[in-house]
């Protein structure tokens, strides 16, 4: 949501009954019990969605349904189970708690209550709450359009035969799904061949069409890794970061052209997705004023992690229920092995300089963004 939102109306908008029964005047039913019932004259019925036809007078009661509006004069409701009805009269068999079955106007939400702050996420329940408080619409951020360029001569989409030397294009699908799940509107361009002019042209087009650009592949320092040169030549300020002291995803590139962020991801499927999740996501969320809501999950480490202390490591983990706790099972392997991430629920960060995290220790795992699908 792009604005602070306050309630336009009291919820509920009138004093109402929380049970099926009889609207009464509470002083009429004090002390009523099975032994000493209080007899009241039934003087009408409250209908849903309608005000009472008249005021309730002493010695009288009105039928009232759950959610019905209390008539003027009434200040209590007796549950139908605590009454005995006969020919125009009702006997109240229990007068205790008569006021408890009345919900005050505004008991849920008061007009003017703060319901959302700009940057908050509108969950299904939040949408219901805003509608319930009178909002027919609120202003929201437009989803940032993110151009997605995937490069690599070796890549073949699933559904087509693989020839010798070719591999499946993983990132077109995984990055598209991740971007969508993060709240962006990704646009996938045709695959870019490993030629500098091809990337230059595709990048210019994506930059023109989008609020941000994500490039997969060619971000390293190989002979055919054109992303750094293409981003540098595309405008100012250009490349801001090239190379991150973290694993996976060391050769990641971050840039800005004009006011548009550029995220250059390594082609290895695990690196690409982990870096989009950890470096890319906060950048993209800022485009829509959304705070990063990833809440860490505390879990016990199932096995020792032992990695090179010279880098920060992001270790994919799978949550496995273990009695009342969850354990985090590290999924180890290379950044080319999609299995490592394919079964992961979250990432555990091993800070630079640490290297070892003992089995059994408690860790904060950052859940991966759940997929929002491809369309
Ligand atoms: P690159 O970053 O282009 O040097 O690619 C690094 C490694 O990731 C190479 O082994 C590529 O074949 C592989 N790779 C690059 N792009 C993709 C992709 N979209 N899907 C799967 N693997 C990829
Ligand atoms: Mg490549």
Tell me the pLDDT tens digit for each residue of 164-193: 999 999 999 999 999 999 999 999 999 999
Q: Which residues pair with 314 in a beta bridge?
A: 349
Q: What is the mean pLDDT of the chain?
A: 95
Per-residue pLDDT averaged across 201-221, rounded?
Answer: 97
Tell me how far the alpha carbon of residue 239 lies from the centroid of ligand 1, in angstroms. Answer: 21
Q: Is 80 exceeded by the pLDDT of residue 371? A: no
Say if ligand 1 is within 6 A of residue 155 CB: yes
Q: Is 90 exceeded by the pLDDT of residue 199? A: yes
Is the pTM higher than 0.95? The answer reads: no
The pair of three-digit structure tokens given for residue 105, joined into one six-digit string = 């106007």
Tell me how far the alpha carbon of residue 325 lies from the centroid of ligand 2, in angstroms. Answer: 42
Q: Which atom of ligand 1 is nearest to the CA of 219?
A: 2
Say if ligand 1 is within 6 A of residue 269 CB: yes
Phi, psi dihedrals of residue 353, rounded to the nearest 5°: 95, -15
Say if ligand 1 is within 6 A of residue 252 CB: no
Q: Whose CA is nearest to atom 6 of ligand 1?
A: 267
- The predicted-structure confidence for 252-292, as pLDDT tens digits, reads as follows 999 999 999 999 999 999 999 999 999 999 999 999 888 76
Say if ligand 1 is within 6 A of residue 316 CB: no
Phi, psi dihedrals of residue 367, rounded to the nearest 5°: -60, 140
Say if ligand 1 is within 6 A of residue 216 CB: yes
The DSSP string of 128-159 is HHHHHTT-S----PPPPEEEEEEB-TTEE-TT
DSSP code for 46: P
Q: Which residues 6+ apart lie within 8 Å of 36 measured at CB?
A: none
Kindly identify the ligand whose nearest atom is closest to the C-alpha of 216. 1
Say if ligand 1 is within 6 A of residue 166 CB: no
Q: What pLDDT, on a 0 to 100 scale, did the predictor assign at position 292?
A: 66
Q: Is 90 exceeded by the pLDDT of residue 26? A: yes
């Amino acid at each position: 949501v792009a604005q602070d939102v306050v309630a336009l109306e009291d919820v509920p908008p009138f004093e109402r009954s929380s049970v099926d029964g009889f609207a009464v005047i509470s002083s009429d039913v004090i002390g009523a019990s099975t032994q000493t019932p209080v007899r009241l004259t039934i003087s009408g019925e409250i209908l849903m969605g309608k005000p009472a036809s008249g005021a309730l007078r002493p010695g009288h009661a009105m039928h009232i349904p759950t959610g019905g509006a209390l008539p003027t004069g009434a200040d209590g409701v007796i549950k139908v189970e605590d009454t005995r009805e006969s020919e125009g009269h009702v006997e109240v068999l229990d007068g205790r708690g008569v006021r408890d079955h009345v919900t005050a106007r505004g008991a849920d939400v008061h007009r003017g209550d703060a319901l959302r702050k700009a940057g908050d996420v509108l969950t299904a329940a939040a949408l219901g709450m805003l509608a319930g408080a009178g909002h027919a619409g609120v202003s929201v951020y437009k989803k940032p359009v993110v151009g997605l360029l995937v490069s690599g001569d070796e890549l073949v989409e699933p559904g087509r035969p693989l020839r010798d030397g070719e591999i499946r294009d993983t990132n077109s699908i995984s990055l598209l799904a991740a971007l969508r799940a993060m709240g962006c509107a990704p646009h996938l361009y045709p695959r870019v061949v490993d030629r500098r002019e091809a990337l230059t042209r595709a990048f210019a087009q994506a930059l023109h069409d989008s609020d941000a650009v994500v490039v997969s592949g060619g971000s390293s320092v190989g002979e055919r890794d054109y992303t750094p040169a293409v981003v540098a030549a595309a405008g100012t300020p250009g490349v801001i970061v090239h190379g991150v002291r973290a694993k996976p995803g060391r050769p990641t590139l971050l840039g800005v052209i004009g006011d548009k962020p550029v995220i250059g991801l390594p082609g290895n499927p695990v690196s690409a997705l982990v870096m989009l999740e950890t470096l890319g996501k906060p950048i993209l969320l800022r485009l829509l004023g959304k705070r990063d809501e990833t809440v860490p999950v505390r879990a016990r480490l199932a096995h020792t992690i032992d990695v090179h202390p010279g880098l920060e490591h992001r270790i994919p983990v799978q949550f496995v229920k273990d009695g009342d706790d969850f354990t985090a099972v590290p999924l180890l392997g290379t950044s080319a092995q999609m299995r490592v991430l394919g079964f992961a629920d979250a990432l555990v960060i091993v800070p630079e300089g640490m290297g070892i995290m003992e089995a059994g220790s408690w860790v904060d795992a950052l859940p991966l963004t759940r997929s929002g699908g491809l369309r």
